[in-house]
Structure 1
Amino acid sequence: MDPSSGNDGKTSTGRRFLIVSAGMGSGHAAVAAELMRRLEGAGHTAAQVDVLELLPPGVGRGVREFYRVAVCHVPAVYAGVYAVFLRPGKGPRPGNGPLAALAERRFLQLVERWRPHVIVPVFHLAAQLTGRLRARGSLTVPGAVVITDFAVHRQWLHPGNDLNLCLTSGIAGEVRRAVGRSAAVSGPLVARRFHAPAEAEGWAGVLGGTERGPVLISTGAWGAGNHVLETARVIAGAGFLPVVLCGSNRRLRSRASRTPGVVALGWVTDMPGLLAASRALVDNAAGQTALEALAAGVPVIGYRPIPGHGKDGVRRMAEEGLTAHATGPRSLVRALDEATVPGPVREWRAAEARRLFAADALPHLEDLAGAGPGPRAHEV
């Protein structure tokens, strides 16, 4: 939790940035790590903190476990939570402000000790935390929220935050109208190793050979998904090799590994190489794995999304022209046919993906950090 594990803040020309993430899956951690790399590469000092660790003992762990169980095992419950607390819409609704309030004291102590020039939430609870404090005047450090979702639910948004960085111009416009504060296009924060040519030969022995090549099925870090093995059978029936990315879900991996014609993988460290060896990614959450695939030039098809933000995000990615959205087995096969052979639709989506990554969060954060003299650096 302590940002003193980062650089010591003594740089003379750089600024200090405090990134507030959350240990929910792996996507937010990947975003925070890439943002730190870019900031430090530009000569700044960056550190990160997990907002769940700022909550009273046991509360953050309980929040994470409830979310994991709901998404993986009782998706109808998560769909209800999303509809009540998160889904965009007019009128008053309950929010996570009371939960954010539990982290305020420890967060303000951290800020006072480390004295950042800009605070950067990359998780919606963190955005509520900084927004509430800024609105009350309890936090003098500006906050720039990096919104990682294509479907921007209401808990990302708080008028107290100074800047919202969004994936696309359309999303930025919606956010600007919703909160009346500045919103800019930053594109996705995806590690540069996904943009560079990757070595795929190492996967040849694992994936074997099929007529049309491997197709990845993403289920996130926790192995969440609806009818994953049925999806694998549809893909196999179309002549591809279905490769199920099971994350930490041992039960799913065991079941998938016993399914004929299916390759089941646990946690994969060489995702660039695996993507380079694959023809397409079938995605169910519109999260970081989908963005990594687009960065690597691998076409993405949204199919059987998880409820809530997954369903809305998959639909929004397709509306942005970045992916296909298959609504049934036949639609999935058609989308795979279209995505894996040269043609105008494939080229159009590839061009949209390249345009998505043209923007960068770094200049916006540097502008915000340079707007004033900044607080005096204190030793941690």
Structure 2
Amino acid sequence: MVVSASFGAGHDGAAAELSRRLRALGHQVDRHDFVDLVPRRAGARLRGLYRRQLTVLPHSWGWLLALAGAPRLAGAAAALTASADDALLAAIGDASAVVSTYPLASQVLGRLRRQGRLAATAITYLTDLSVHPLWIADGVDVHLALHDDVARQAKVLGATDVRVVAPAVAPAFTELVPADALAAVRARLGLPAAPIALVVAGAWGVGSVERAAQDVAATGLAVPVVACGRNDALRRRLNRSGRVVALGWIDDMATLMRACQVVVQNAGGLSSLEALTAGVPVVTYRCLPGHGATNAEALDRIGWVPWIRRRRDLAAGLRAALDRQDRFTPAAALPESFTHLVAA
């Protein structure tokens, strides 16, 4: 069984790819959304609150995440998730292993293992490059990390069996796309012939997206094309500006990324890994508070994605990424250890 949570698309995207790979190996796989397992629609209300928080008062999420290890917040997380224990246990049934891609689901799995109620092996797949305390649940058997540095963070927080594994990125991002197919995508979406900076902000299109796009446009180095996800209000506002191309939900993100010359991201999640796997340069700019900033710092520290912290540095950062474009391939785009893991 694989359990994720529909808080944006990152947790679900990793869960979908893990499920696909396990099925390809001959396993029977059930997949569940943790939001649906919390009784009395409390999960859906929490998701709505989280989305509103990121939209209206994003810095409050940073403050909350900074307190993630505090006993009071840990107790609140335990109380919130306790109501999902029986539903998650029933959903697991006779599964031999459970993989979680969401921290609160991992908290439930750890508690069920500690209580002796869960016989299945409990595994957490860490979707972030930075690890906050709620990711590490006592009782979970194995934590899967995307880099040695992530594994180190997990061990500092008390994880025992931590293994570095390949990122769960769909195979579409490793496939070569013919030039005529890329040209067709550009024409269909109305993209200009000039260099394109694809600005991504997750499924919800949250953060300082408009300011980031306008800043990119002001450099004159690339036309900003914003993937607004399901944020239709953002898409309409940006399209009225005249300097930005704003797109709604995109099903074939792999081809769109390859039709662009650089990806500008703000959260350090799945989109970053997808772009790296596709061989497209990535930079972080105007990142989200909380996990966006900690992921940005981690990606920059391990040398995967440079973090452009100031507006005055944006032009130089974009120019450096664009200058690298001709040398980028799906293998060369990734650090050696990362490429080895993908191949494995």
TM superposition shift of 1:77: 2.5
Match of 1:129 in 2: 108
CA distance in 1, matches of 2:103, 2:342: 20
**197-206 vs 53-62, greater mean Cα deviation:** 197-206
Structure 2: any 5+ residue segments left out of the alignment? none
Is the 8 Å Cα contact of residues 321 and 352 (structure 1) preserved in structure 2? Answer: no
CA distance in 2 between partners of 1:78 and 1:342 (Å): 34
The answer (yes or no) to whether the contact 2:65–2:290 under 8 Å persists in 1 is yes
Give the distance between the partners of 1:343 and 1:296, measured in 2 at CA: 12
Q: Pick one of 22, 32, 39 that aligns with 2:15.
A: 32
Instruction: Say if 2:26 is the partner of 1:43.
Output: yes
Give 1:354 shift. 5.5
Alignment: residue pair count: 335
One-letter amino acid matched to 1:78: W
Aligned positions of 1:192-203 closer than 5 A = 192-198=171-177, 199-203=181-185
Separation (CA, whole Å) in 1 of partners of 2:325 and 2:261 = 15
Mapping 1:86-235, distance limit 5 Å: 86=68, 92-95=71-74, 96-111=77-92, 114-198=93-177, 199-205=181-187, 206-210=190-194, 213-226=195-208, 228-235=209-216
Residue-by-residue CA offset, 1:296-350 (whole Å, 9 max, x unaligned): 0011100111111011101111111001110122211111111111399979x94
TM-score (norm 2): 0.92
1:342 matches 2:324? yes
Q: Percent identity?
A: 34
Shift of 1:93: 4.6
Q: Secondary structure at the match of 1:248?
A: coil
Counterpart of 2:116, as a letter, is G
Question: What are the Cα deviations for residues 2-48 of structure 1, in whole angstroms up to 9, with x where unaligned?
Answer: xxxxxxxxxxxxxxxx1011111111111111111100111111111
Q: Distance in 2 between matches of 1:343 and 1:75?
A: 33
Q: Distance in 2 between matches of 1:268 and 1:32?
A: 19
Structure 2 residue aligned with 1:274:
256
The code of the aligned residue for 1:28 comes to H
For the aligned residue pairs, the C-alpha RMSD in angstroms reads: 2.2
Are the equivalent residues in 2 in contact too, given 1:322–1:350 (CA < 8 A)?
A: no
Q: Is the 8 A contact 1:127 1:161 kept in 2?
A: yes
CA offsets per residue over residues 90-139 of structure 1, 9 Å max, x none? x635221111211011122223xx30111111100111010111112121
CA contact (8 A) 1:146 1:164 kept: yes
Superposed displacement of residue 352, structure 1: 3.7
**Cα displacement (A) at 1:355:** 3.1
**Structure 1 residue 73: deviation in Å?**
1.7
4+ residue runs of structure 1 moved beyond 4 angstroms?
343-347
CA 1:343–1:105: 2 relative to 1, 3 Å: closer
Matched residues in 2 for 1:202 and 1:321: separation?
33
Superposed CA offset, 1:247-299 (max 9, x none): 11111111110112210001011211111110101100001111111110011
TM-score between the two structures when normalised by the length of structure 1: 0.83
Query: Which gives a bigger RCO, structure 1 or 2 (Cα 8 Å, sep 6+)?
Result: 1
The separation in 2 between residues aligned to 1:267 and 1:309, in whole angstroms, is 23
* Match for residue 263 of structure 1 among 225, 231, 245: 245
SS at match of 2:81: helix
Where structure 1 has 5 or more consecutive residues not aligned to the other structure, the ranges are: 1-17, 364-380
Counterpart Cα distance in 1 of 2:336 and 2:228 = 28
Give the whole-Å Cα distance in 1 for the aligned partners of 2:184 and 2:215. Answer: 26
Partner SS state of residue 137, structure 1: coil
The residue aligned with 1:65 is 48
How far, CA to CA, are the matches of 2:325 and 2:205 in structure 1?
A: 33
